[in-house]
Chains A and B, each alone.
Chain A
């Protein structure tokens, strides 16, 4: 009986030889990401091009691995980056520290920071691991203007933008 079992094992492996390989030829072919995949962070903008980030640093406070560094500065009507009173003049994420937990996304009051689907983060130097605001921010959408924008006085008077319930 032992011999029969050995033969069955050999037959199984031989049969597998004629099945289609499951290998994905990675750099050429990429598998689609799941909708809620947590990859590299993106800093989003409104449709008019203004940044959603108001520099509150709640993401930095929520971050369990202390990967995020935010420095805020005042908006004026002449030089306006975001809807609120302040904007993030410096926004850095150390990707060597980040554990991609998504707490920054949960903490963000304006849904500015959202973990995207980019997982190809590699660097050859520790300094390259620090992603700056320029690297994280999304491009200006069509119809919007780049920041800083010059806006008419009195249009943006809230210290923080109007909130909405989170949508998925």
Chain B
């Protein structure tokens, strides 16, 4: 590994980390604006033109807030929990490709950080880690509401992770590979028509992935762990200042990550018209697709009320899991018929 390659990887990692944190700030803005429009309001418009400095104002406010640690909490875990939650969210998109490859300063640079041959497995594994942070936050706070929030998040994860994993499996079956680069290329292998067939074969998988992804990110209507009406703020009841901001950050970065993964697995990722000729269009297509997916998240939040706790579990086990199996079965039949 030469120095140039090392620098290239460091820059790419920096872009992901920076992009995710800035993206987090502006997803909150995007969400507030979109929610406001859905509710016939305007949304933030005071800080800067059209309120675009609002996330920065929020960040400054959170930095200067008092950091409060409850007296009888488990101090070490209380400090560790936000970190455990936010780091998987930051690194999960490392395997998501943004484009093919470009030539820059005489080097051929691939527009992805890592082309792991078990990329899907990596996604599933990293996505599950952050639930530990939530459970530990709930437990270490020494607060009954936080505890209940943490417990709920575990139960929710168990119910939904299986369906999420099975929707990954059907995509893997169709593409014949677990690498996300291969999956994107498999969607574009037979031109636009091939992409349409890919999507027609996977509408169920896409919906299962979306629902499970919403549960994974603890988004409404599956925001059980932080159900305000029942649990004050759930697992982050006792958190304040930047520690609270880290939980917030993890939630929103996971929205970006799930949207990027959804675009990659089901909407063709960086593929689009003319992407063969101009490789720089790849990241732009991925960005647009991700924005649309994030809008779907916000839209669903604005529309549906929260599920009841037991119904959520019942829905996960009795509806989503059988449907995911059915979808895997369909994907298997298609693979056999088309020949993979």
Q: Is B37 touching A17 in the complex (CB atoms < 8 A)? A: yes
Contacts of A20 in B (CB 8 A): 40
Q: Is B299 touching A13 in the complex (CB atoms < 8 A)? A: yes
Stretch at the interface among A4-12, A36-44, A129-137: A4-12
- Decide yes or no whether B18 CB sits under 8 A from chain A: no
Once the chains are docked, how many angstroms separate the CA of A13 from the CA of B37? Answer: 9
Query: Contact mask A6-43 → B, CB, 8 Å, 1/0?
Result: 10011011101101111101000000000000000000
Q: Is B36 touching A21 in the complex (CB atoms < 8 A)? A: yes
Q: Is B304 touching A21 in the complex (CB atoms < 8 A)? A: no
- Decide yes or no whether B306 CB sits under 8 A from chain A: no
Contacts of B41 in A (CB 8 A): 21-23
Q: Is B40 touching A19 in the complex (CB atoms < 8 A)? A: yes
Determine which of A16, A22, A23 lies in contact with B38 in the assembled complex, contact meaning CB atoms within 8 Å.
A16
Which residues between 22 and 40 of chain B lie within 8 Å of chain A, taking CB atoms? 34, 36-40
- Decide yes or no whether B288 CB sits under 8 A from chain A: no
Q: Is B42 touching A21 in the complex (CB atoms < 8 A)? A: yes
Asked whether A22 and B40 contact (CB < 8 A) given A6-B304, A9-B304, the answer is yes
Contacts of B303 in A (CB 8 A): 9-10, 12-13
Q: Is A21 touching B299 in the complex (CB atoms < 8 A)? A: no
Which residues between 285 and 321 of chain B lie within 8 Å of chain A, taking CB atoms? 299-300, 302-304
| Total A-B Cβ pairs within 8 A | 33
Determine which of A6, A13, A21, A23 lies in contact with B302 in the assembled complex, contact meaning CB atoms within 8 Å.
A13
Chain A, residue nearest B304 (CB): A9
Contacts of A12 in B (CB 8 A): 303
Chain A, residue nearest B298 (CB): A13
Contacts of A17 in B (CB 8 A): 34, 37-38
Number of residues from A at the complex interface, CB < 8 A: 14
Once the chains are docked, how many angstroms separate the CA of A25 from the CA of B51? Answer: 14
Once the chains are docked, how many angstroms separate the CA of A25 from the CA of B41? Answer: 11
Q: Is A16 touching B40 in the complex (CB atoms < 8 A)? A: yes
Once the chains are docked, how many angstroms separate the CA of A23 from the CA of B37? Answer: 10
Query: Contact mask B33-56 → A, CB, 8 Å, 1/0?
Result: 010111111100000000000000
Chain A, residue nearest B37 (CB): A17
Chain B, residue nearest A10 (CB): B303
* Least distance between B305 CB and chain A CB atoms (Å): 10
Once the chains are docked, how many angstroms separate the CA of A6 from the CA of B304? Answer: 8
Q: Is B42 touching A23 in the complex (CB atoms < 8 A)? A: yes
Determine which of B39, B42, B300, B304 lies in contact with A16 in the assembled complex, contact meaning CB atoms within 8 Å.
B39
Once the chains are docked, how many angstroms separate the CA of A167 from the CA of B27? Answer: 58
Chain B, residue nearest A24 (CB): B42
Chain B, residue nearest A15 (CB): B38
Once the chains are docked, how many angstroms separate the CA of A16 from the CA of B40? Answer: 7
* Least distance between B304 CB and chain A CB atoms (Å): 7
Chain B, residue nearest A14 (CB): B299
Determine which of B34, B36, B42, B299 lies in contact with A10 in the assembled complex, contact meaning CB atoms within 8 Å.
B299
* Least distance between A2 CB and chain B CB atoms (Å): 10
Q: B residues touching A (Cβ–Cβ < 8 Å)?
A: 34, 36-42, 299-300, 302-304
- Beyond A21-B37, A21-B41, list 20 extra A-B contacts (CB 8 Å): A6-B304, A9-B303, A10-B299, A10-B300, A10-B303, A13-B38, A13-B302, A14-B38, A14-B299, A16-B38, A16-B39, A16-B40, A17-B38, A19-B40, A21-B40, A22-B40, A22-B41, A23-B40, A23-B41, A25-B42
Can you list 10 A-B contacts (CB < 8 A)? A6-B304, A10-B299, A10-B300, A13-B303, A21-B37, A21-B40, A21-B41, A21-B42, A22-B40, A23-B41
